[in-house]
Amino acid sequence: MPELPEVETTRRGIATLMPQQVLRQCIVHQPKMRWPIPSDMNERVQNRTVLACERRGKYLLLRFEHGYQIIHLGMSGSLRSAPFEVERLKHDHVEWIFDQTRFLLHDPRRFGAVLWHDLRDGPILEHPLLAKLGVEPFSPEFNPDYLFQQLANRTASIKSILLAGRAVVGVGNIYASESLFKAAIDPTAPAKSLSYPQTIALHQAIVETLQQALDSGGSTLRDYQNATGEAGAYFDLYAQIYGKAGQPCPRCENPIQRLVQNQRATYFCAACQNVAL
């Protein structure tokens, strides 16, 4: 579920409710996540004020005066506000209790994480998980010149470079396929082989795809909060090719194909993206 747009949408949602509130308790029901949740987590944050809800890549950052809670939703995580009368469900692993409401971290696969970074150990952005991340896709630093420089000398496929998040964060498995399709670039091409015009097209495709998904993700999250049923896979609403193997390419009608790169599925149109098989 959590692609960058959903993480950002989640951040915006909790940012309207959480900041300036005193966290009364942080209850860990299941510490076995991607990394163990520190056993003293509650002591760190109990009766402390949440100053802000920030984001770096797909990491959510709850800022306190003395440190940060680092939250990652992994592959299957979600963070939602739930009134006290709402019963905790299976896989609701962590609770944030405030005076007026509470939040629940739900994560069946437990690839997510909740960590503590104390500011005595340095600035938050120097945390090992954050220090080597690429630039934010909506920041001025992400521009064609920067991207071209990042791709230079890289022999790995452009798909895997995008997914690695060292050049730019937020391009998940869906958006890697979608962006490369939009830019008509072969996902298997070595990153260094992209021309400058191709890099311009890819840069534009990434920003447009993420922006469109952010708009869409926001609306589906509102739907999810209002309705009882599932929001469904929000990317189904606008994905051009992701998950659509066998269906006609929206541009040229040739069948969309699927391949596996780095153990992750890639969807593409061999004709539009000039893929040699």
Partner DNA sequence: CTTTAACCCTGGAGGC
Partner DNA sequence: TGCCTCCAGGGTTAAA
Which residues bind to DNA, rule: CB under 7 A? 1-3, 6, 32, 34, 57-58, 72, 74-76, 90-91, 108-111, 128-129, 154-157, 160-161, 163-165, 172-174, 191, 233-235, 262-265
Which of 6, 273 has the CB closer to DNA? 6
Reference 221, options 236, 205, 232, 237; nearest CA is 232
- DSSP calls for 176-223: HHHHHHHTT--TTSBGGG--HHHHHHHHHHHHHHHHHHHHHHHHHHHH
CB of 215 to DNA, least distance (A): 15
Helix (H) or strand (E) holding 261: strand 257-261
Helices (H), the chain: 4-15, 41-45, 128-131, 144-151, 158-164, 173-182, 196-226
DSSP 49: E
Which of 48, 110 has the CB closer to DNA? 110
CB of 164 to DNA, least distance (A): 7
Which of 39, 155 has the CB closer to DNA? 155
CB of 18 to DNA, least distance (A): 22
Q: What are the residue numbers of the active site? A: 2-3, 58, 264
CB of 56 to DNA, least distance (A): 10
